[in-house]
Amino acid sequence: MKQYFVTGTDTEVGKTYVTCQLLRAANNASLTAIGYKPIAAGCELVNGEWVNEDALNIQQASACANGQTLPINEINPIALTPPIAPHIAANEEGVALTHEKIAEGLNALAAYRPDILLMEGAGGWRLPLTIGSDNTPTHYLSDVVKALKMDVILVVGMRLGCLNHALLTAEAIRADGLIIKGWVANDITGNMTRYQENLRSLKVMLPEPLLAEIPYQTGIEAGTLLSAIEQLS
Domains annotated on the chain, with CATH:
2-232 (3.40.50.300)
Judged against a pLDDT cut of 90, whether residue 68 lies above it is answered with no
Given 2, 37, 146, 149, which residue is catalytic?
Answer: 37
Judged against a pLDDT cut of 80, whether residue 69 lies above it is answered with yes
Q: CA separation (Å) from 219 to 18, 70, 118, 137, 224?
A: 12, 26, 21, 43, 11
If residue 51 lies in a helix (H) or strand (E), which one and from where to where? Answer: strand 49-51
> Can you give the pLDDT at residue 160?
96
Single-letter code of the amino acid located at 45: L
Calculate what percentage of the chain has a pLDDT beyond 70: 99
Calculate what percentage of the chain has a pLDDT beyond 90: 85
Mean pLDDT of 9-29: 94
> Can you give the pLDDT at residue 66?
80
Give residue 87's pLDDT band: very low, low, confident or very high (50, 70, 90).
very high
> Can you give the pLDDT at residue 221?
72
How many whole angstroms from its chain centre is CA 102? 14
Residue 171 has a CB neighbour count (10 Å cut-off) of 11
Judged against a pLDDT cut of 70, whether residue 222 lies above it is answered with no
Q: Cα(144)–Cα(7) distance, rounded to whole angstroms? A: 13
> Can you give the pLDDT at residue 133?
87
Q: Which of 10-19, 187-196, 211-220 has the lowest mean pLDDT?
A: 211-220
Three-state DSSP class for residue 159: coil
Give residue 134's pLDDT band: very low, low, confident or very high (50, 70, 90).
confident
List beta partners, residue 151: 4
Judged against a pLDDT cut of 70, whether residue 4 lies above it is answered with yes
Picking from 67, 29, 3, 4, the residue whose alpha carbon sits closest to that of residue 229 is 29
Q: Is 37 a catalytic residue?
A: yes
Picking from 31, 66, 69, 37, the residue whose alpha carbon sits closest to that of residue 51 is 37
> Can you give the pLDDT at residue 196?
97
For 144-206, strand residue ranges (E) read 151-158, 180-187
- Angle (nearest 5°) at CA 61 between 232 and 72: 115
> Can you give the pLDDT at residue 233?
74
Give residue 227's pLDDT band: very low, low, confident or very high (50, 70, 90).
confident
Q: Which of 34-43, 98-107, 215-224 has the lowest mean pLDDT?
A: 215-224
Mean pLDDT of 66-85: 94
